[in-house]
Structure 1
């Protein structure tokens, strides 16, 4: 249910938040007033009966339904999805506000178990739907326009048809899910939230410690890096156990389903062809020398170093302004950029700030990173940040608010069709970042400011493209190696290091202990192979933004139409109005050339 940032969201000392202005907190009342709200009990009671009656009315009968009856079946299934999603959104969002609170963790666990039990009778729906002959399903849809609307859902479900297990096995997998991956996910989250690091004589959480990697003082950056390595190293056996178990569980299920590769399930859920992902991956890896290698060599010179250490990767430039950006200023910057693109975009974004749809402050036990969660189509999204006034935090706000705008627009599709495949889910977020960056660049008053902004954008793009593809390669290697047997922490460390030098380049030296830094990346635990979606989204947006800059007529309305589509259209259909095609291998070169062009500008400033 989470949507994490591709890069860490850095904090400073929590006590310093007072200088940021009035940071908003979530008002979850639009979901439920409290865990003991009568509306929540009402919905749980309704859900139990709705699932039982759904199975009673439709199980064993799907293949014999007429078009009107099948439509009724789909609509009832969608309503069940709404109520279950509403309950789990409330439980999950409360939990992420404080993952170390025992009551919140228990409430989330109880909700997961209850809803898993209630929804077990629904497992037949997908299985039986996939047994309907193609010709018959086509006939039914062609006879009913309202039913035909759900064709993208049928297509997505039927893509899994070759990998479907027996009814009994599918029900078993559904029932045991609460003690499978989701249990290991919770263990990871709670462990990460509870880690303590000693830096500058202070006891800090993960977010605060990662923030020290952006300090001007190099000795502080080094101390934080070594402390991260110490704590990760002390817990590495647990993290290795989490990864071993999850990778093995996935391997077993993939094997039983007959999945040809560990990545197949992700590609199917993303509705993207494996060859498109491989073309993206290959284009990025081939571009490492002209992107990350070239940029980090520039940065090495700017910092006056012969070699960069890992604690220099996100270091500010020597001429960088270290001022804190307060919340109001961050809000004004992003909203001005959004409004400059279209007043409609700013109008959609406004309620996030005024109605309690953002939780911005850093608090003890709060989940790290940032995400936007769409909840359900009939409510609205919620955005989580860990805001501590860095310029990077302003870009994170722009990113997550972009997700929020996308989710608001897509909600018009209804619950089943609003969810966007991950490959397209990053479109509005990265586009929102680009708008904000361009606004800041246009407002820059001197060359030094422009240099800092360009360098910051290049670093973000490298983190979003190069780093995520390196992460993807690491995951591919991890899952492949796990198929051959249990992996020791040292085995996983070696796989991690095998992609680091290649992606970051010869400017770097790697301290002892950096080999454990795979352990805190949440994507590997929560969503295997998620990470390529960030690179996909960045490349796609770079190509889109180039069309926008060329003055494409009606771009804004075409852009909003794309966001409104949610999960109702394939990426080919969505990009066609802009004259773009992600299945063309050269498509990715267009996106990567924008990053390369920014580095060209930075090199020219050296002359």
Structure 2
């Protein structure tokens, strides 16, 4: 899933996005993938991919069950090479598109690549279907006979987890063939619509990212103006967003029904390799903690701001004693790199090329996709990080977060293409841990009680956004998909579902302005990755528990931590957490994670 906004000429790592109050910002150098969109290397790989897919099908279709262990290993390695080349092409096309989603040539190039690869890989659909028809005894004998093949057992386990939900070969082929004009086409419409939105606040026109940044300004009138302008523009486009969500939810429901999936969330749980009861325990623990976390904190903040009632534009407002100092890019880099090096010099060494070799695109530019991400590309290349850096302290934490993803992806790459990808529930581990390292370092260097209070409050707000807000988003998605199963939803219907989770999660401190009911419409996770959002809360709770082990002084913690990141997707969460004495299926696990947030709030109360 991609989307891009990008200038016509890609500049190298040393090129900036122009003078800003926070310095010259880096841009991607995508030449590590391909020199350009018309490069001979790209044409070579497209030709190779087409032929390799056809050859793979001719060699193996209808014959998997008759292979021996060595033959199946050859098959898996051939499949892995196909995934590598296809992933490289789509990474290049997608990252270019994300740089400038409103550029027609980039959008066309991305769509053409997507359609070509869908056609080329159509002959591969048989692979997972045939694997799932092989007897367990045959698979077990293969793994016993060949240690190199046994390394891929997690891949087979994940494929076979889908066995109960597998359709006929013909239907699976149909779903594959139409994929480029199904959900992915609606994703592209959503991305291009959001990237093209413009907002006018105080006489200045901005994109969504820059306008949302105004919600963290000291001046309350500016925050209010930005909120009302976001509401106005989203309201004008709400029919498009409603159509996208209605269509995608219905398409998902149809496929889930054909597959006999027991719930809309089942597919996400399977892809995350996590049991539904573990997610339910997480969700219930967080909802039960709302009064102790978000409700309690926002009451404190309401008093600090001197308000009788808070409005939604006050939620991310800075505290009165917080200064407006911007953090320039070199300073942000030093803060994060020092925090990483203090934990383990190896971590900083892995992170260094992101800054020096064009692996980060940091500037806010017209048409650029909003938000931030770390994309792993393929295991014989390297990850790329996208930011929309505006110099706020939260942007420094976002850098620490996405760089953590990048470090994780670099370490996991040694597993190879089919085993490196980490389930979403564990994919947030290194990112949230990187944030925590950066926060703890800054907190230890705070010079005054006021500075410490501002830092603690900022961290609590980030954790509430990561845990409370994301579980509220998850509940909204659950309600949306359940309601769509009963029929078409109007924009007002979806607005009402959104508001049903807002007061519950945020608490009594807030009033909600007219128009806030549309703020669900620009959140990309609902469109690109249904039910993704609980992974953030999962990751935060997991890291809080991990960090508690670290603080307790486990002498081997760093080694265990690096081994966990290197494992990528080769191990289940139970196996990865066991060396730390942790178990996500234990209800007390989530209580341990949430208690860290509660402890920070206790510190803030004690400072009153």
- What TM-score does the superposition give when structure 2 sets the normalisation length? 0.97
Quote the offset at 1:475 in angstroms.
0.1
**Relative contact order: is structure 1 or structure 2 higher (C-alpha 8 Å, sep ≥ 6)?**
1
Q: Pick the aligned partner of 1:27 from 6, 19, 29.
A: 29
Q: 1:198 is paired with a residue of what secondary structure?
A: strand
Between the aligned partners of 2:328 and 2:183, the Cα distance in structure 1 is: 39
Contact 1:371–1:383 (CA<8 Å) still a contact in 2? yes
Match of 1:71 among 68, 73, 76: 73
Cα offsets for 1:426-465 (capped at 9, x unmatched): 0000000000000000010010000000000000000000
Q: How does 1:315-464 map to 2 (within 5 A)?
A: 315-464=317-466
Structure 1 residues 488, 17: closer, same or farther in 2, change over 3 A?
A: farther
Q: Which residue of 2 aligns with 1:204?
A: 206
Q: Hey, what's the Cα distance between the residues in 2 that align with 1:600 and 1:63?
A: 60
Give the conservation status (yes or no) of the 8 Å contact 1:2–1:372: no
Q: 1:35 and 1:235 mapped to 2: Cα distance?
A: 33
Is the 2:293–2:597 contact (alpha carbons within 8 Å) kept by the matching residues of 1? yes
Aligned to 1:499: 501
Task: Report the counterpart of residue 537 of structure 2 in structure 1.
Answer: 535
Aligned residue number for residue 93 of structure 2: 91
Matching residue of 2:7? none
Counterparts of 2:285 and 2:552, CA distance in 1:
24
Q: Over aligned residue pairs, what C-alpha RMSD do you find?
A: 1.2
Does the Cα contact within 8 Å between 1:276 and 1:583 map onto a contact in 2?
Answer: yes
Query: Is the Cα contact below 8 Å between 1:17 and 1:361 reproduced in 2?
Result: no
CA distance in 1, matches of 2:345, 2:2: 28
Which residue does 1:284 correspond to in 2? 286
C-alpha distance in structure 2 between counterparts of 1:301 and 1:200, whole Å: 28
The number of residues matched between the two structures is: 597
Q: Partner of 1:48 in structure 2?
A: 50
**1:110 maps to which residue?**
112
Select 1:590's aligned residue among 589, 592, 595: 592
Which one of 537, 543, 546 corresponds to residue 544 of structure 1? 546
- For residue 585 of structure 2, give the secondary structure of its aligned residue in structure 1: coil
> Which residue does 1:134 correspond to in 2?
136
Dislocated runs of 4+, deviation >3 Å: 1-4, 14-17
**In structure 1, distance between residues paired with 2:394 and 2:449:** 20
* Alignment match of 1:312 (pick from 297, 311, 314): 314
Distance 1:584 1:100 in 2: 47
Q: Partners of 1:80 and 1:320 in 2: how far apart? A: 52
Give the counterpart of 1:519 among 516, 521, 539.
Answer: 521
Q: Distance in 2 between matches of 1:556 and 1:535?
A: 23
Distance 1:218 1:481 in 2: 37
Q: CA deviation at 1:203?
A: 1.1
Contact 2:100 2:367 in 1 (8 A): yes
Query: SS of the counterpart of 1:268?
Result: helix
1:217 counterpart = 2:181? no
2: CA distance, partners of 1:129 / 1:520: 39
Give the CA deviation at 1:17.
5.2
Shift of 1:477: 0.3
Deviations 1:549-600 (A, max 9, x none): 0000110010000000000000000000000000001100000000000000
Other structure's SS at 1:23 match: coil
CA distance in 1, matches of 2:59, 2:74: 11
Distance in 2, Cα, partners of 1:586 & 1:391: 32
Per the alignment, in what secondary structure is the counterpart of residue 418 of structure 2?
Answer: helix
**Residues 181-200 of structure 1: pairs in structure 2 closer than 5 A:** 181-200=183-202
Q: Give the drift of 1:18.
A: 1.9
**Aligned equivalents of 1:275, 1:479: Cα separation in 2:** 19
**Structure 1 residues 17 and 512, CA, compared in 2 at 3 Å: closer, same or farther?**
farther
8 A Cα contact 2:183 2:248, kept in partner: yes
Distance 1:15 1:78, change over 3 A: closer
SS in 2 for 1:20: coil
Matched, 1:151 2:153: yes
Match of 2:39?
37
Per-residue deviation, 1:19: 2.2
Q: CA offsets per residue over residues 368-411 of structure 1, 9 Å max, x none?
A: 00000000000000000000100000000000000000000000
Provide the TM-score with structure 1 as the length reference. 0.98
Q: Say if 1:365 and 1:3 are closer, same or farther in 2 by CA, change over 3 A.
A: closer
CA distance in 2, matches of 1:318, 1:282: 34
CA distance in 2: counterparts of 1:372 and 1:196, whole angstroms: 25
Name the CA distance, whole Å, in 1 between partners of 2:3 and 2:64.
34
